């Protein structure tokens, strides 16, 4: 309720600023709105190439403007499968240290399945890191100390680039719900 009230106050301020037609005040207002209303979503992914998905990843990244950042970590390639899983897990843990204060969510087929509205309610006003593992996945037991939860897009295995696209699309969808745009029906 407080957020709705604050939002209406900000829009009434916008009307006053617009009537004044003072460009400096408009710029200050939009920076204020950006800081207050836009939260950061980070996608951390073990990925060496998104060449098959680049066009759509770029499109959603453009639509989400500065509220999303993708951080790809090159997959480990040396050693046994267990050694690769451990190395990829350690690289993810090291990357997560950059994001203290963020909610950290692992994409896992063992995670909780959420509706789009569940995602909206849980993450729209929260700085969040979404974690996508590599080809052999990650050591989820080891990661449990560093994450706040797990979500799934189903119990199936998907290409990691496609999962990245699915996360971006859902982030875009919940941002349009927040803005009242006609995208989610």
Annotate 27-86 with DSSP letters as a single string: HHHHHHHHHHH---EEEEEE-S--TTTHHHHHHHHHHTGGGEEEEEEPPP-SS-HHHHHH
What does pTM read for this prediction?
0.78
Tell me the per-residue pLDDT of 31-80, one tens digit each, with 9 for 90 and over.
Answer: 444 443 456 899 999 998 888 899 999 999 999 988 899 999 999 999 99
Closest CA to 99 of 61, 126, 120: 126
Residues paired with residue 68 on neighbouring β-strands, in sequence order: 41
Q: Classify domain 39-179 at the CATH class level.
A: alpha beta
3-class SS at 170?
A: helix
Give the tokens for residue 54: 């680049």
Tell me the per-residue pLDDT of 137-182, one tens digit each, with 9 for 90 and over.
Answer: 999 999 999 999 999 998 888 888 899 999 999 999 988 888 888 7
Contacts of 185 (CB under 8 A, 6+ apart): none
Domain boundaries, the chain: 2-35, 39-179
């Amino acid at each position: 309720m407080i957020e709705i009230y604050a939002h209406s106050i900000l829009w009434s301020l916008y009307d006053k600023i617009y009537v004044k037609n003072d460009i400096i005040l408009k710029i200050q207002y939009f920076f204020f709105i950006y800081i207050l209303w836009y939260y950061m979503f980070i996608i951390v992914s073990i990925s060496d190439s998104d060449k098959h998905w680049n066009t759509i990843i770029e499109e959603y990244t453009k639509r989400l403007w500065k509220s999303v950042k993708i951080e790809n970590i090159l997959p480990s390639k040396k050693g046994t499968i267990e050694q690769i899983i451990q190395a990829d897990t350690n690289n993810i843990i090291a990357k997560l240290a950059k994001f203290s204060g963020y909610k950290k969510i692992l994409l896992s087929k063992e995670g909780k399945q959420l509706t789009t509205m569940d995602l909206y309610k849980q993450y729209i006003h929260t700085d969040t890191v979404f974690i996508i593992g590599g080809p052999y996945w990650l050591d989820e037991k080891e990661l449990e100390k560093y994450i706040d939860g797990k979500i799934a897009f189903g119990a199936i295995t998907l290409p990691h680039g496609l999962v990245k696209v699915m996360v971006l699309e859902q982030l875009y969808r919940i941002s349009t719900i927040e803005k009242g745009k006609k995208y989610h029906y």
